[in-house]
Amino acid sequence: MRVSLPLLVSAFAVCGVMALPVVYLALRAGESDSSTWDLILRSRTVGLGIRTLGLAASVTATAVAVGVSLAWLTTRTDVPGRRLWAVLAPLPLVVPSYVGALILLSVLSPRGLLQELLAPFGVDRLPGIAGFPGAFLTLALFTYPYVYLLAVAGLRGQDPALEETARTLGLSRWATFRRVTFPLLRPSVAAGGLLVALYTLHDFGAVSLMRFQTFTQAIFLQYRAAFDRTPAAILSLMLVAVALAVLGLEHRARGRARYYRSGSGARRPLSPVHLRKWRWPCAAFCGLVALLAVGLPVTVLGYWLSRTVAAGREIGEVGPAMFGSLAAAAGGAGLTVLAATPIALLAARHPGRSSRLAERLTYAGFALPGIVVALAFVFIGANLVPALYQTLPLLLVAYVVLFLPQASEPIRAALLQVSPRVEEAGRVLGRSGAYVFRKLVAPLASRGAMVGFALVSLTVMKELPATLLLRPTGFETLATLVWTESSVGRFGAAAFPALLLVTLSAIPLYLLAGRVDLQEVRAE
């Protein structure tokens, strides 16, 4: 199939924008001299790289294990409380990692809330979680929903006939999962795992609060302490290189196979797997994850809030910030899904060297710490397009650059499950490319687009560095409010906007979960 011109032009335009931070960093890095390199060598780059990759690998492995199990349990089985878990499972994604880290620290630090509870039993000090355990726990707990959401979308897109066939041919339930269901899920799981790995690479909030030194932390130190942008740019480019290596891994994990149905036959829902004696252990597993990743944050935030209210302190106005969060999330996610579509189409339908290059380029922004992308847009905005600088449109473009893979991955995964024969048939029957896209491709890819929209809007709602530097003056979001209060140590006052943030995020999640219910009704 030939690449259509509109597709090529739009993909090219998106890539141009996505490349901006990298071009900017390359220019900054070009200012380096030998003293810069001394500094980089002194900052123990190799050791940092190993620690960073170790963290990313362990967080990703855990997130995949938790995310895939939850996805399978909530979509394919009769686990008790399935709908509840389906609604709760993606929620942790909305907890900003610095808030999550603060919450875990307040509970699990040597003299934290848990120790207070255990004090009557003679426990006067807990070992604490700062360092690797804390960074690992925070990131795994609050990023596994990437895998969960993509795996759910992947499971929905699968043809149940394949599993049924496997069962009829005598495979056990476990063997069916291992040999049919999971391999078919590979593109979705690889995509989700990739998002988790890259999130871990660029995260600053959790690692700095848990005091675990990573690459991103070293970049922040350069900006914050030395005000030297050249070493920060070089370190950032190294991080992009690491991300490209991770992308290569994902490409291999995804495999070359086809994931769409090639035969004819009607698609229909699958009857749920009966867990029998495993029902309650599985429910306990879902409950444990929900307790740690949703119950704990909400309880601690509620506790902080109740202390503030009990002390009679006032809680600032949140109305404008709520509106700001919604506008930023909806605008950012909408624009990102639009920009991601040509990239995903190109990657799914026209695999090849140049489309892979284009696709990888779009990951640069997501692999970079938010502050780096934000400062790149500060430079570009103030100097090249001053009319747009510190306005909402430029902020939304920055969100696209930061989060595009979160939309392009699910769209591509959805497209991979649709046979290109469908489109070819449309064209052969004399329809225009635009018509085929509108009538055939878009509806089929819409499940991925919905997931992408939800993921991006959740992430935008908690985004901080770019929002702080690029927002219109006076524009507040719930995340900036949380930052304002918690940066002066007023956790009680920060708890209210944080709880609202979690509640508002339920909107995109509800849209996704609402679709779950519809399918279940048909299934039962």
Partner 1 sequence: MRARHTLVPLLATVLLGAACADQSSPPPSDRGESAATATTLTVYSGRDEEFIGALFERFEGDSGHTLEVRYGDSAELAAQILEEGDASPADVFVSQDAGSLGAVAEAGQFTPIDDDILDRVDPRFRSPEGLWVGASGRARVLAYNTDRVTEQELPGSVFDLTDPAWRGKIGFPPTNGSFQAFVAAMIVTDGEDATREFLEGLEANDPVLYEDNSSTVLGIAAEEVDVGLVNHYYLYEVSAEEGDIPVANHFFEAGDPGALVNAAGAGVMATSDDTDVAMQLIDYLTGDEGQTYFAEETFEYPVVPGYEPSVELVPLDQIDSPDVDLSDLGGTLEPALRLLAEVGLV
Show contacts with partner 1 in window 482-501 (CB under 8 A): 484-485, 487-490, 492
The residue from 383, 428, 430, 521 that contacts partner 1 (CB under 8 A) is: 383
Residue type, 196: V
Nearer to partner 1, 51 or 76 (CB): 51
The residue from 425, 511, 517, 523 that contacts partner 1 (CB under 8 A) is: 511
Q: What mask of x and - would describe binding to partner 1 in positions 34 to 73, judged by CB under 8 A?
A: -----x--xxx-----------------------------
Q: What is the dihedral of CA 406, 407, 411, 414, to 10 degrees?
A: 40
CB of 40 to partner 1, least distance (A): 12
CB of 226 to partner 1, least distance (A): 4
Q: Does 447 contact partner 1 by CB under 8 A?
A: yes
Stretch that binds partner 1, among 161-169, 235-243, 360-368, 461-469 (CB under 8 A): 461-469
Q: What is the C-alpha separation between 112 and 116, in angstroms, rounded?
A: 6
Nearer to partner 1, 34 or 383 (CB): 383
Nearer to partner 1, 328 or 364 (CB): 328
Q: What is the 3-state secondary structure (H, E, C) of 200-247?
A: HHHCCHHHHHCCCCCHHHHHHHHHHHHCCHHHHHHHHHHHHHHHHHHH
CB of 397 to partner 1, least distance (A): 12
CB 207 within 8 A of CB 138: no
Using DSSP, state whether 249 is helix, strand or coil.
helix
Stretch that binds partner 1, among 68-76, 86-94, 143-151, 225-233 (CB under 8 A): 225-233
DSSP letters of 390-410?
A: TSHHHHHHHHHHHHHHHHHHH
Q: What mask of x and - would describe binding to partner 1 in positions 260 to 299, judged by CB under 8 A?
A: ----------------------------------------
- CA distances to 161, 176, 206, 216, 261 from 168, rounded to whole Å, are 10, 10, 48, 51, 19
The count of chain residues that interact with partner 1, using the rule CB under 8 A, is 73
CA 271, distance to chain mean position in Å, is: 30
Stretch that binds partner 1, among 147-155, 159-167, 240-248, 377-385 (CB under 8 A): 377-385
Q: Which residues pair with 77 in a beta bridge?
A: 273
Classify burial at 333, counting beta carbons within 10 Å of its beta carbon; exposed 0-12, middle 13-18, buried 19 or more.
buried
Footprint on residues 316-375 left by partner 1 (CB under 8 A) = 320, 323-324, 326-328, 330-331, 333-335, 371, 375
The residue from 18, 239, 247, 378 that contacts partner 1 (CB under 8 A) is: 378
Q: Report residue 519 as tokens.
A: 């399918």
Footprint on residues 113-132 left by partner 1 (CB under 8 A) = 130
Q: Which residues pair with 273 in a beta bridge?
A: 77
CB 196 within 8 A of CB 421: no
